[in-house]
Amino acid sequence: MNKIFIVAGREFFTRIQSRTFIVMSILGPLLFGLFVLVPVLMAKWNNDSTTVWVHDPSGQLSDAFQDQNGLKFQVLPQGTLSNGVLVPADSANIRELLEDQDAGLLHLQAPDSNLNVEARYYSAQAAGLKITERIQSALNDRLYRLRMERQGLDPKVIESLRAEVQLQTSVWTDQGSEDSHTETAMLLGFGAALLMYMFIFMYGSMVMRGVIEEKASRVMELLVSTTKPFELMMGKILGIASVGLFQFVLWLLLGTAISTAIGAMGLGSGPGTASVPGTVNSLPADAQADWMQILGQMPWETIIPFFLFYFLGGYFLYAALFAAVGSAVDSEGDSQQLMLPISLPIILSFVASQFVMQNPHGSLAFWMSMIPLTSPVVMVVRLPFGVPGWELALSMFLLVAAFVLAVWLAGRIFRIGVLMYGQKVSFNLLRKWLFYR
Amino acid sequence: MAFLDIRSVSKSYRNHRALLDVSMQVPKGGIMGLLGPNGAGKTTLIRMINRITAPDSGSIWLDGRELGPEHARRIGYLPEERGLYKKMKIGEQLLYLARLRGLDSGQALQAAKHWMTRLEMQSWWNKKAEELSKGMQQKVQLVAALMHDPDLLILDEPFSGFDPVNARLLKNILLERRAAGTTLLISTHRMETVEDLCTHVVLIHRAGVVLSGETEAVRRQYSKNRVEIHCAGAPASPPPAPLPAPSSTTTTSEPNAITRMVFEAEPQHWPALIDHYNRNSHILHFSEKLPSFQDIFIQAVGTDNLGDADNSATNAIPSANTTHIFR
């Protein structure tokens, strides 16, 4: 038992003193900021302006197009091009229009008696989805209105007939009903699952690299001669988990400090709460208040302890499996194929969590929150929706059992994989090895 | 009773037998030299004593008890494939390894300081292993093996990689440990180590023990009854039959010439030989020429196998499986 803490202590203290750890602790919040900022910037940079020349012989359609998001519409004077199908005589004009790479030509024909329109878009380079979708929806909209008018319907009346019901959801308990917030629960569950997924991959693979390093540098010969493989693996997993949690806490503190500083300088839109990434401060003030109220109503006192349990449990289980992979290979390059069977269940549970959110009490949700390889992510997704106590208890028990088994297995593979290459593998020998004191 | 008692240990790998029914005893305070050609199974045996690998059959006893996890505290080990954490400071590595052996932090610190001073490496505490040369790293590992003052010290090729100064330092430390009651097991290819240090030897060849015993007894066992006589002046007349004539004679130049002669003679003829040269010349030196361990090794193992790095082919277990080649 004592040796587990000696091993964990070494993992923790050598890693937090390493240059990579210090650099990542500082860069982490900055990178995360970039992560949030880059999509916004990318959307901005994507708005290179494009000029669309509209040829509209009927004159009924051209005013449907609004200049927006870098798309500019210009109506061509009548007679520039032929009204029907384009003919060779038009080619000189078209060439002139499309000389600018960022220009396009929308060639419309007059609507027929059923208000159908033939439209064609010409450009020097193939048109992107953004342009074609905008043009299509504007045209469809305009034709819809024209058709309504022909039927003698007032578009304003039609608009007023649209219904929009907001379904309120409640959980019935014997004490009365409680509001439940499906969307908030979904967001919360998904955020938690994402966090867990990141943690498992970042620090799980750190465990794997640590094991490979000990094998490659041959330190393990001394380690194995003094320490049980189970203690070695457990210490390594605990030590690296502490590194990860420590780093998270540092990031949280640093992130809060940075966003507070930005807020104080008046650059950010929100107050100190801006460290809750990207959700709160992008909403208008009253929506923000609503959101806060809903968040306040979530059953945090049950969610948080279970979240922590599954967060750590999931990490422990996968870290043990990563350690087993590290024990079985000689270099990081060789580990790739073996990592696939480990990565699959976690990716699967991540994908499945979307269906689980739609039906958090269905049989998919139930089984996936029982199987230890998928339960950490799936159960965390289910938590905000409320999970029966016996399911939680069973799932937690299975997770702990699977974890202990996985560490033990990893320790065995470590010993065998490191030194036993060439051993005749028979069940008898495997059993002997697994039970060697 | 033997301090380290290895009882009919066997071990097979997939396509060859590493050890077959190997037994040996090392008395308390003895220095056992473990000899054998490459691939004979020495490292496998050492790993078994360190509980890194388990024997297929047989048992290993230390100080009257079968080997178990509690013996980690009492064994010091310098592995053949030396390994340290590359990025970790020397001092911290030593503390870590000593604590895994069972010392508490205070004892570990004290022991690390003591041994680093003893081996003249006080200034290395904050250096990382990757900054040190191979020989320097070896010293670090030697300290790791010595720190917890083990009762059994197992050293795999301890002298390889050391310069003569460090080699002498190591030799002194080993003799000192022995005087303090430590039992040593040294695996080596250097026969001068055996002649210098070891009280006992065991030679493993083709997975089995070929010879074992106290160093002097083994040498005598391999003696070819060869004696050397040095006389003053030019060669005297050869001794009469049945005494043998010298098998080689060399004479240094005048003045003060010395004649050196070597005889292959049964021990019962030695007094007569001495008598003959005492009467015909002046004997300066008489000695029995015991074989060197170099000679004993080659005689026991046979020259056909030297340089045959992997002797797995000679003791392969017949098998229908394809043969795998391992690193």
Find how far residue A209's CA is from the centre of its chain. Answer: 25
Give me the residue spans of the domains in chain B: 4-220, 224-289
pLDDT tens digit sequence for B282-321: 888 898 888 888 888 888 887 654 444 444 433 434 433 3
How far is residue B303 from each of residues A89, A121, A271, A365, B294, measured CA to CA in Å? 99, 89, 85, 71, 11
User: Domain B4-220 falls in which CATH fold?
Assistant: Rossmann fold (3.40.50)
pTM, 2 dp: 0.71
Contacts of A423 in chain B (CB under 8 A): 13-14
Contacts of B66 in chain A (CB under 8 A): none
The per-residue pLDDT for A47 is 60
Measured in angstroms, the CA of B270 and the nearest CA of chain A are apart by: 53
Closest-CA residue to B182 (of B4, B23, B1): B4
Q: How far apart are CA B113 and CA A35, in angstroms?
A: 49
Residue A382 corresponds to which tokens in the numbers above? 């289910």
Contacts of A218 in chain B (CB under 8 A): 79, 81-83
Q: CA-based diameter of chain B, in Å?
A: 75
Chain A residue with CA closest to B11: the answer is: A423
pLDDT tens digit sequence for B12-33: 876 778 889 999 999 999 999 9
Cβ <8 Å between A433 and B54? yes
Find how far residue B100's CA is from the centre of its chain. Answer: 27
How far is residue A195 from each of residues A245, A303, B19, B123, B208, measured CA to CA in Å? 12, 15, 52, 45, 58
Q: How far apart are CA B283 and CA B274, in angstroms?
A: 8
Please count the residue pairs, one from chain A and one from chain B, whose beta carbons lie less than 8 angstroms apart.
81
Terminal Cα distance for chain A, rounded: 15
Contacts of B79 in chain A (CB under 8 A): 218, 221-222
Q: For chain A, what is the mean pLDDT? A: 79
pLDDT tens digit sequence for B113-150: 999 999 989 899 999 988 999 889 999 999 999 999 99
Q: Which positions 77-96 of B are in contact with A (Cβ < 8 Å)?
A: 77, 79, 81-88, 92, 96
Q: Tell me, what DSSP letter sits at residue B62?
A: E
DSSP codes joined into one string, A398-419: HHHHHHHHHHHHHHHHHHHHHH
pLDDT tens digit sequence for A323-338: 888 887 777 777 777 7
Q: Say if B68 is an interface residue toward chain A (CB within 8 Å).
A: yes
Closest-CA residue to A411 (of A237, A205, A242, A206): A237
Residue B135 corresponds to which tokens in the numbers above? 């020989």
Hey, what amino acid is at B277?
Y
Cβ <8 Å between B100 and A6? yes
Beta bridge partners of A75: A54
CB nearest to B50's CB, from A219, A225, A422: A225
Strand segments (E) across B160-254? 183-187, 200-205, 208-214, 226-232, 248-251
Cβ <8 Å between A424 and B101? no
Contacts of B15 in chain A (CB under 8 A): 422
Domains of chain A: 50-155 (3.40.190.10), 181-434 (no CATH)
Which of A194-198, A286-290, B297-301, B321-325 has the weakest average pLDDT?
A: B321-325
Does the pLDDT value for residue A421 go beyond 50?
A: no
Q: Tell me, what DSSP letter sits at residue B128?
A: B
Residue B195 corresponds to which tokens in the numbers above? 């002649």
User: What 3-state class would DSSP assign to A304?
Assistant: helix
Measured in angstroms, the CA of A223 and the nearest CA of chain B are apart by: 8
